[in-house]
A and B are shown apart, each in its own frame.
Chain A
Amino acid sequence: MNTISATKPTGAPISASPYVVAKHIPYARYVISAALIVALALIAHAFAVGQIQWLVVRQYLFDSAIMNGMINTIILTFFSMVAGIALGLASALMTDSQNPLMRSVSSGYRFFFRSIPILLQLLIWYNLALVFPRIVVPGIASFETTQVITPFVAALLAFGISQGAYTSEVIRSGLLSVGRGQVEAAKSIGMTRGATLRRIVLPQAMRVIVPPLGNETIGMLKYTSLASIIQYQDIVYSTQTIYYANGLVIEMLIVCAFWYLLVVATLSYFQSKIEKHYNKSNQTHSSRVENSVEKAG
């Protein structure tokens, strides 16, 4: 912010001093920058002359199998995060409940699903039919387990449930960041517990919750590629299917990487938008001063 120059009374005489501060020249920065540029140029050159058929990369960039794979990746990420946030919120609320059984269930849930590698969880859900050949809802319905647990369902269960265990901590620290006084003020104007949570506590907790949750969404986008080992047709699965056929391994992997970069960039953009939204109302005394200075200037 331009606080100093803006608050300085305009036209005030600046007394001339015989002492002059020497201009600082950042030699080290120049040297490091030069070294970085050379290194980047060498890498670019290596890829340019390497055994990569860039035309093929371009040709497959919008291939329908690749696009379908990307859409499946996004769908799995989206629903896993939705499930993760719902379970995380439930688990966070249970952790702070008065009921000791609820607290233990919640902490057991977090311990269990954070301890088992996600790859293992995928395999367990996918192979559930080995243990329970049929899923029976007594008196209502009965299904072949293999019919119900498709690769998508298995992946959703694995990612959603384990994400909930992590998100629980994120949401809890968000809820704890909102002072007790806020809850008491809400109660004092006659708000119920539900309304207090929805209108007073959660909106303020979002400031703490959104940044880590954004990072976890981006992480989830990448983790879902593991689902390709249980035949879920995400973008990595599609990429592999294509290069098994045409043998252009690196070209296809570059196509795949391109799409991840694009989607992550998009997600990051929205993340920063959302963070700004939840920060805007939390102006402090100092930002008021800055704002008024900016307006005046």
Chain B
Amino acid sequence: MKKLVEINNVVKAFGSFQALRGVSLDINEGEVVCIIGPSGSGKSTLLRCINHLETVDGGLIKVADNVIGYRLTGSVLHELPDREIAQQRAQIGMVFQQYNLFPHKTVTENIVEGPIIVRRKDPAESRAKAKELLQQVGLAEKADYYPGQLSGGQQQRVAIARALAMEPRLILFDEPTSALDPELVGEVLQVMRRLAASGMTMIVVTHEISFAREAADRVVFMDGGQIVEEGTADELISNPRNERTREFLSAVRA
């Protein structure tokens, strides 16, 4: 197994509040890791550090052996210029809780924006590829709709297609189903399950314990800005060793 993501002792504060207190985590290529934990435990912050939507105060994040967001000289990190950070982000997909589709662009335009503008791919080719991706997420007939004309579940599936269009090494999901009506959660999880089965490397922050149990190779429990416990889905969800993990799981299940 080849290591794809290397998170090494990452520290992050907002003002005087310590959101991440030394988080370390390695993720292999093709692995699906679910991060669970109570609200405010730093799950989103960790995810956002991985594609440098947040700066870090200390520690190191590497994706495919490249230090994200910084140039390392000796032991000092210097933030990279905007253009280089953008190039790094192009390899890391992200799916947001609120979908964040571009409302002024059609579904197809949303998907081809990255390939055409960032990767400078041929527009016709990109559109053909977008059509394929839309088929994969079951939305072929919505190609020319605007996001505002779609349900939440459909929008989130478009958002996944938009991330996939960049052919990323890795996709980050931040509570992709939390904003959805209960009856729409299934369709999004199904797309994610298929993606996981296809070998995509995924880091998923979620409250869907059953999804974690089914799809995750590994589950990480965070609390208070730290990783409290990690293990295979079975180990962590069925036999949590840590007291806080147990409390959290029983609260979620209740």
The chain A residues found within 8 Å of chain B, CB to CB, are 179, 181-182, 184-193, 195, 199-200, 203-204, 278, 281-285, 287-288
Q: Which residues of chain A have C-beta atoms less than 8 A from B148's C-beta? A: 282-285, 287-288
Are the CB atoms of A190 and B82 closer together than 8 Å?
A: no
Residues of B within 8 Å of A288, CB to CB, are 148-149
Interface residues of B in 91-117 (CB under 8 A from A): 91-94, 96, 98, 100-106, 113-114, 117
0/1 interface trace, chain B 70-107, chain A, CB 8 Å (1 if under): 00000000000011001111111110101011111110
Contacts of B82 in A (CB 8 A): 192-193
- Binary interface profile of B, 111-138, with partner A (CB < 8 Å = 1, else 0)? 0011001110000000000000000000
Residues of B within 8 A of A203 (CB): 104
8 interchain residue pairs of minimum CB distance: A190-B90, A189-B114, A185-B100, A188-B94, A288-B149, A181-B100, A190-B118, A281-B104
- Flag if B118 contacts A191 (CB, 8 Å): yes
Contact A282 B94 (CB under 8 A): no
User: Roughly how many angstroms separate A199 CA and B104 CA in the complex, as a whole number?
Assistant: 10
12 pairs from A and B in contact (CB 8 Å cutoff): A182-B100, A184-B94, A188-B51, A189-B113, A190-B86, A190-B89, A191-B113, A191-B117, A192-B83, A282-B148, A283-B146, A283-B149
**Of B86, B87, B103, which one neighbours A282 at CB under 8 angstroms?**
B103
Q: Is the interface of A mostly helix, strand, loop or mixed?
A: helix
B89 to chain A: closest residue by CB: A190
Q: Which of A185, A189, A288 has the most CB of B within 10 A?
A: A189
The answer to whether residues A282 and B146 also contact, given A181-B98, A189-B89 and a CB cut-off of 8 A, is: yes
A184 touches B96 (CB 8 A): yes
Is B218 part of the binding interface, using a Cβ–Cβ cutoff of 8 Å?
A: no
- Cβ B87 vs Cβ A185 within 8 A: no
Let me know if A189 and B103 touch, CB within 8 A: no
A-B contact count (CB 8 A): 86
* In the complex, chain B residues whose CB is within 8 Å of the CB of A200: 102
Apart from A190-B87, A278-B104, A282-B146, what 19 extra A-B contacts exist at CB < 8 Å? A181-B96, A181-B98, A184-B53, A185-B100, A185-B102, A187-B89, A188-B89, A188-B163, A189-B89, A189-B118, A189-B162, A189-B163, A190-B90, A190-B114, A190-B119, A281-B146, A283-B146, A283-B148, A287-B149
Interface size on B, residues (CB 8 A): 33
- The CA of A119 and the CA of B102, in the complex, are separated in Å by 44
Tell me which residues across on chain A come within 8 A of B103, comparing CB atoms.
204, 281-282
In the bound complex, do residue A188 and residue B53 qualify as a contact, i.e. CB atoms below 8 Å apart? yes
| Cross-chain contact of A199 among B93, B117, B166 (Cβ < 8 A) | B117
Complex CA gap A128/B87 in Å reads 50
Distance in angstroms from A137 CB to nearest chain B CB is 32
With a cutoff of 8 Å between Cβ atoms, the chain A residues found around residue B146 in the complex are 281-283
Of B103, B104, B114, B146, most buried by chain A (CB within 10 Å of CB) is B104
Q: By the criterion CB–CB under 8 Å, are B102 and A187 in contact?
A: no
Q: Bound state CA distance, A185 and B147, in angstroms?
A: 14
B166 partner residues in chain A, CB cutoff 8 A: 189-190
Q: Which of B51, B119, B149 contacts A285 (CB 8 A)?
A: B149
Give the shortest distance, in Å, between B96 (CB) and chain A (any CB): 6
Asked if A182 and B102 make an inter-chain contact with CB atoms under 8 angstroms apart, the answer reads yes
Chain B residue numbers with a CB within 8 Å of A191 are 86, 113-114, 117-118
CA distance A98 to B166 in the complex (A): 30
Chain B contacts of A190 at CB under 8 A?
86-91, 114, 118-119, 166
Hey, which chain B residues are within 8 Å of A281, CB to CB?
A: 103-106, 146
Collect the chain A residues with CB atoms within 8 Å of residue B119's CB. 190
Tell whether, in the assembled complex, residue B100 and residue A184 are in contact, meaning their CB atoms are under 8 Å apart.
yes
